[in-house]
Amino acid sequence: MSGQETIAVIGAGAIGTAAAFALAREGRQVLLLDRDEPGVAGASFGNAGHIAQELVQPLPSPGLLFGFYRELFRFGGTLDLPPRQALRMSAWIRRFAAAAFRRGENTRHLAPLVRPSVAAWARVVEAIGRPELLRRHGHYEIALGPRSPARMKAQADEMARVGVRTLPLSAEQLLPVQRGANAAVAAGLWFEDSANVIDPLEAVRAFAAAALQSGAKFRRLDVKGLRPRGDKLEIVSDQAPLVVDSALVCAGVRSAPLLAPFGLHAPLQAVRGYHIEIPQGAAFFDAPVVYTEERVIVTPMSGRLRATSYMEFTDVDAPADARKPARLRRTVRALGYACEPDGVSWVGSRPVLPDYLPGIGRAPGPAKLFYAIGHQHIGLTLAPITAELVADLVAMRTPRIPLAAYDLQRF
């Protein structure tokens, strides 16, 4: 297909499908491309469904930089960064370290994107006629053990400092969690302004269906490359070349090679996470629960509970590490959930740039090449707001949030 007006959206995860809908509803001719069916092949399939309006601070911090070894998988933690991998990632780690010392400044860049995320979700689920996909019941953070009250107090203070509202949980609210985990002491906070999605895959499918209903087309295509062709773009695959007027790259962790021919360097690292599920599992709360010491989040989803964890720094295509879901199951059981020791698990790659800011912008040069990548641990959260920004960019309107900090030319 070649089309004067066509914008190709490459990648049908949460970001790509939300963007395809935002563009199609403005009357643009959208061609949504993915090597697989929408939502199934990337991180958007298996995430925790948490609309993390509280995560206004990027992850790199001096505390993590100097204390990360305490979190390592081999010492029982959830962060897996083997020395050989760290060596391979030395340039990325240097950038991460530099960002750790710019956390205040980077929070000023990230927060404007994160704070309106629940409102943007509410707008989009309303627009596509699927309000039931979003539950606005907040989320809970819980710590167990003797030090938990002090830890939760520190977390409440930190959240207040960055403008996030929390409420302490009462002894009565904590009792079932304590019984479940067999813990003498527990403390917890309710984050009333966050939200969750009852089924992340269903949300992506709903965005894609709404885009198609607004005139977009979907085609399964493994995009091998993108080339400038004057002010147009050629999409290279194992099928006949496609020439399009403009393109949006949102191929998650695999986006970098598509952007390189346009002079853009996207140092994306796969930070993999795992999930396990408990069919028909009973939840302690009607919202996600973050166990802060265990680094596990348990989310009630339609017909099941999903537990996610881990930050595994590795190659996107490396085989899954069976020890991780097995340990996750043991942890979730110890927390009081009726979790079988064996069962299906999933691994997926968070697309992470070293400063934990996303890449949203337009490539330099005559070709109309846009990108929306690097949404790290909060791509589900940021999908609707990113889609609105992409629609602004493509329409050459002043974006509703300044985008300079997300320009990939910072690398």
Ligand X SMILES: Cc1cc2nc3c(=O)[nH]c(=O)nc-3n(C[C@H](O)[C@H](O)[C@H](O)COP(=O)(O)OP(=O)(O)OC[C@H]3O[C@@H](n4cnc5c(N)ncnc54)[C@H](O)[C@@H]3O)c2cc1C
Residues that bind ligand X (CB under 6 A): 10-16, 33-36, 41-44, 46-50, 52, 222-223, 250-252, 254, 273, 275, 308, 348, 350-351, 375-381
Minimum CB–partner distance for residue 185 and ligand X (Å): 27
CA distances from 405 to 54, 96, 106, 141 (A): 20, 16, 9, 30
Cβ nearer to ligand X, comparing 361 with 379: 379
Q: Which structure tokens are listed for 367? A: 């070709």
Q: How far apart (Å, rounded) are the C-alpha atoms in residues 229 and 337?
A: 56
Cβ nearer to ligand X, comparing 116 with 183: 116
Cβ nearer to ligand X, comparing 380 with 393: 380
CA distances from 59 to 65, 107, 251 (A): 10, 10, 22
Q: How far apart (Å, rounded) are the C-alpha atoms in residues 185 and 205?
A: 42
Q: How far apart (Å, rounded) are the C-alpha atoms in residues 171 and 241?
A: 63
Cβ nearer to ligand X, comparing 183 with 294: 294
Contact 201, 43 (CB under 8 A): no
Minimum CB–partner distance for residue 270 and ligand X (Å): 9
**Pairing label, strands 29-34, 217-220:** parallel
Minimum CB–partner distance for residue 268 and ligand X (Å): 10
Cβ nearer to ligand X, comparing 54 with 178: 54
Residue with tokens 């979190």: 71
Cβ nearer to ligand X, comparing 109 with 183: 109
Q: How far apart (Å, rounded) are the C-alpha atoms in residues 215 and 338?
A: 45
Q: How far apart (Å, rounded) are the C-alpha atoms in residues 50 and 33?
A: 26
Minimum CB–partner distance for residue 126 and ligand X (Å): 19
Cβ nearer to ligand X, comparing 48 with 99: 48
Closest to 5 measured CA to CA, from 365, 242, 226, 246: 246
Cβ nearer to ligand X, comparing 99 with 249: 249
Minimum CB–partner distance for residue 44 and ligand X (Å): 3
Would you tell me the crossing angle of helices 379-394 and 103-114 to the nearest 10 degrees? 80
List for the chain the helix, strand, coil content (%; round to 5).
Answer: 40, 25, 35
Minimum CB–partner distance for residue 332 and ligand X (Å): 14
- In SS3 terms, 65-79 reads as HHHHHHHEHHHCCCE
Minimum CB–partner distance for residue 52 and ligand X (Å): 5
Q: How far apart (Å, rounded) are the C-alpha atoms in residues 308 and 304?
A: 13
Minimum CB–partner distance for residue 149 and ligand X (Å): 26
